[in-house]
Amino acid sequence: MTKLSVNVNKIATLRNARGGELPNVTQVAIDCERFGADGITIHPRPDERHITKKDVYDLKEVVTTEFNIEGYPNERFMQLIKDTRPTQATLVPDPPDVLTSNAGWDTQKHVDFLKGICAEINACGVRSSIFVETNPQMIDYAQEIGVDRIELYTGPYAENYGNDAEQAVLPYVRTAKRAQALGIGINAGHDLNLANLGFFKRSILGLDEVSIGHALIADALYFGLEETIKKYKELLV
């Protein structure tokens, strides 16, 4: 079964809109786990527009499933990883001012940089993952980097799913097969939702984990958090 990691960034965004602790990010994370989530994902950006530095340390104290911290591996990010020792650190190539993660690493161009970063992460006892697009060549360099997993950027899949699902998923199938052949684990995330997740899961054999935030939190407005997590989990069996 593919694991579901719930990204709670949007909970922090809602809280920050008014200040205070409503909704409470740590309590929502606890509830997500209680409702069946296999992990909690956060992306603490430098401007703290959603997850704050304090949230990172607070969540470390309460998350009992897998804790995944994603972000650009600058000095601030790496210190958070070393301090909290999450289950997984997912590296994204975002500059500080982007709205959301919408591109993967050029692993060929950044091979030496990422090799050093992943070595630091692994030395902390933390699983390393890097955000990539559907280019098998990038997977070959990921192996050289020594990363434990890749996270497939599924934005293009979600965008094209309604037009031709088979064609939309084909590049992901090819890239995933290459990763599996090289012994690299496979995660996925970005714009996966109740409409397109099931087909993606069935198409990508050996899919270890999906990280879902925006769509899941939006669905929870209608179905409630517990029922929404149940619906997503049912698609991952």
Cβ neighbours of 119 (radius 10 Å): 12
Q: Choose among 203, 216, 206, 153: nearest CA to 182.
A: 206
The Cβ-side half-sphere exposure at 86, using a 13 Å CA radius, reads 27
User: Do 199 and 169 touch, CB atoms closer than 8 A?
Assistant: yes
Q: How far apart are CA 157 and CA 166, in angstroms?
A: 10
Active site residues: 43, 70, 190
Strands 66-71 and 149-153: what pairing?
unpaired
> What CATH number should be reported for the domain whose range is 3-231?
3.20.20.70
**What pLDDT, on the 0 to 100 scale, is given for residue 94?**
77
- Per-residue pLDDT of the chain (237 residues), as tens digits, is 999 999 999 999 999 999 999 999 999 999 999 999 999 999 999 999 999 999 999 999 999 999 999 999 999 999 999 999 999 999 999 765 555 556 799 999 999 999 999 999 999 999 999 999 999 999 999 999 999 999 999 999 999 999 999 999 999 999 999 999 999 999 999 999 999 999 999 999 999 999 999 999 999 999 999 999 999 999 999
**What pLDDT, on the 0 to 100 scale, is given for residue 102?**
63
User: Do 158 and 190 touch, CB atoms closer than 8 A?
Assistant: yes
